[in-house]
């Protein structure tokens, strides 16, 4: 026996929205017929039995698909990898913090400046005269 359901009822049964049911009808995943009424046309979805309902949308149980499941699985693997990497980095930071007193008491005392390009401090450019604004230049001030 064929069961006739509205788009909303079919969506509830399949666990998807009415818009998704209409898309499934458009691509041929669901059997449906157009019913013309005085209020306007509507789609009637045809189901064989309750047991056949999931067969009409095998990859759309509760609005998910095989592609979505693959993406979720991939994202879970990435999250696990990133959690492991974060734990390793936290251990490295802890070790560096522990070694910080040793490193700061090296051959150069903490009060002496360190210059990366030799023993002289970097040269500061000679002072340039202050720039005058355009209005002052225009008025000669």
SS (H, E, C) the chain: CCEEEEHHHHHHHHCCCHHHHHHHHHHCCCCEEEEEECCEEEEEEEECCCCCHHHHCCCCHHHCCHHHHHHHHHHHHHHHHHHHHHHHHHHHHHHHHHHHHHHHCCCCCCCCCCCCCCCCCCCCCCCCCCCCCHHHHHHCC
Mean pLDDT of all residues in 32-47: 91
Contacts of 9 (CB under 8 A, 6+ apart): 45
| pLDDT surpassing 50 at residue 138 | yes
Model pLDDT, residue 51: 46
The predicted structure's pLDDT at residue 82: 94
Query: For 92-115, what is each residue's pLDDT tens digit?
Result: 999 888 888 877 665 655 566 665
Mean pLDDT of the chain: 79
Reported pTM: 0.37
Taking only the tens place, the pLDDT of each residue in 14-36 is: 899 999 999 999 988 889 999 89
Q: What is the mean pLDDT of residues 67-79?
A: 84
* Bigger pLDDT: 69 vs 64: 69
Class of domain 3-61: mainly alpha
For residue 102, the model assigns a pLDDT of 78
């Amino acid at each position: 026996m064929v069961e006739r359901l509205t788009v909303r009822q079919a969506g509830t049964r399949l666990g998807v929205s009415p818009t998704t049911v209409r898309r499934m009808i458009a691509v041929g995943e669901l059997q449906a017929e157009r019913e013309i009424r005085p209020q306007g046309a509507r789609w009637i979805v045809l189901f064989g039995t309750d047991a056949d309902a999931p067969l009409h949308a095998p990859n759309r149980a509760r609005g998910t698909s095989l592609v979505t499941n693959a993406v979720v699985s991939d994202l879970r693997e990435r999250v696990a990898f990133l959690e492991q990497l974060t734990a390793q980095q936290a251990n490295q930071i802890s070790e560096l913090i522990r070694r910080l007193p040793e490193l700061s008491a090296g051959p150069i005392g903490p009060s002496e400046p360190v210059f990366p390009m030799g023993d002289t401090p970097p040269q500061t450019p000679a002072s340039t005269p202050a720039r005058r604004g355009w209005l002052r230049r225009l008025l000669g001030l």
